[in-house]
Amino acid sequence: MTVALQTEGLVKRYGGLLATDAVSLRLQQGELHAIIGPNGAGKSTLIGQIGGDLRPDAGQVQLHGEDITALPTWQRALRGLGRSYQISSTFPEFCVQDCVALAWQAHQGHGFGSWRALWRRPGCEAAVLAALDQAHLRAQAERPVRALAHGQRRQLELAMVLVAQPRVLLLDEPMAGMGHAESQQVVSLLQGLKGRYSLLLVEHDMQAVFALADTISVLVNGRIIASGRPAEIREDPVVRSAYLGDEELPA
């Protein structure tokens, strides 16, 4: 198996606080690797460093063997690192299909063209509608983002990531704040992506994580205390005492 994404001894300090403590992660090609951990464990900080929004104080991030630690966010994106945000981060004044078209355009060379409408560029419509289909958002294509329900905004996040056909997906709590039915839709969507994409998933929904993940890493106080198959994690006494406590794990 080849490694899609890897971090080596990532360290991030905020003053005296060690938010990321020598994190070494390995995401295999085609697998879904979930990161779980209590609030404040440093999950978002970790994702931020992999995506490029945050600079690590030490350590390395590698994408398909290439060191991308020093690259700005946009260059990481162009190298195939797609990312969704925990708090829906879209373009409120655009309609749904415009957001996805903008995400598509980023990978079509420069965007300085200022005469022909983006929507009329060859390939745009097909790619955008396909991504909207994947994210079950086709019916909302022409609605303004402002008018979307919370769950639909989460789906739009996914469509904007998928349309770029990234090699590695960083998904920061794609199911945050979703109802059960909506979560189920996303779970089945992610199920379908496994194998074709390599996914790094941060998620609070334990049921979803244990149903989806090939590998789970447990992050506590910025450190990975355990990493392994879901079955191993479930049985791991360290994980149970440090993080899961008396919480019942899904079978």
Partner 1 sequence: MNAATPSLWRGLFLVLLAALALAPVYAQWASEPFIVTFLTRALVFSLAALSLNLILGFAGLVSFGHALYLGLGAYGVGLLAHHGVDNGWIQLLVTILACALVGFVTGWVSLRTSGISFIMITLAFAQMFYYLFVSLKAYGGDDGLSIASRSDFGLLSLGHAATLYYVALACVVGVLIWTSRMVRAPYGMVLQGCRMNETRMRALGYPTRRYKLSAYVLACVLAGVAGLLYANLTGYASPAYLSWTVSGELIVMVVLGGMGTVAGPLIGTLALLGCEEWLKSLTEHWPLILGPLIVLVVLLARRGLLGLLGATGEAEARA
Nearer to partner 1, 90 or 183 (CB): 90
Which amino acid, 60? Answer: Q
Applying CB under 8 A, among 55, 146, 150, 229 the residue interacting with partner 1 is 146
Show the tokens assigned to 97: 């299909």
Alpha carbons 222 and 109: distance in angstroms, whole number: 37
User: Is 87 an interacting residue with respect to partner 1 (CB under 8 A)?
Assistant: no
From the list 31-39, 103-111, 178-186, 207-215, the region that binds partner 1 by CB under 8 A is: 103-111
**Which listed range, 12-20, 34-42, 55-63, 102-110, lies at the site for partner 1 (CB under 8 A)?**
102-110
User: Residue 58 or residue 87: which is nearer to partner 1 going by CB?
Assistant: 87
Sheet of strand 58-63: strand arrangement: 17-28, 3-14, 58-63, 66-67
Distance of closest approach, residue 65 Cβ to partner 1, in angstroms = 20
Segment contacting partner 1 by CB under 8 A, of 17-25, 27-35, 63-71, 93-101? 93-101
- Site residues for partner 1, window 213-232 (CB under 8 A)? none
Asked if 79 and 63 touch (Cβ cutoff 8 Å), the reply is yes
Site for partner 1 contains 122 (CB under 8 A): no
Residues 156-195 that bind partner 1 (CB under 8 A): 160, 164
Provide CB contacts within 8 A for 154, sequence distance 6+: 88, 174, 175, 176, 177, 178, 182, 186
CB environment 72-99: b (16+ within 10 A), e (fewer)? eeeebbeebbbbbbbebebbeeebbbbb
Of the residues 105, 140, 155, 183, which one makes contact with partner 1 according to CB under 8 A? 105
Max Cα separation, the chain?
A: 62
**Where on the chain is the footprint of partner 1 (CB under 8 A)?**
51-53, 72-75, 77-78, 83, 85, 89-95, 98, 101-103, 105-107, 111-119, 121, 142-144, 146-147, 160, 164
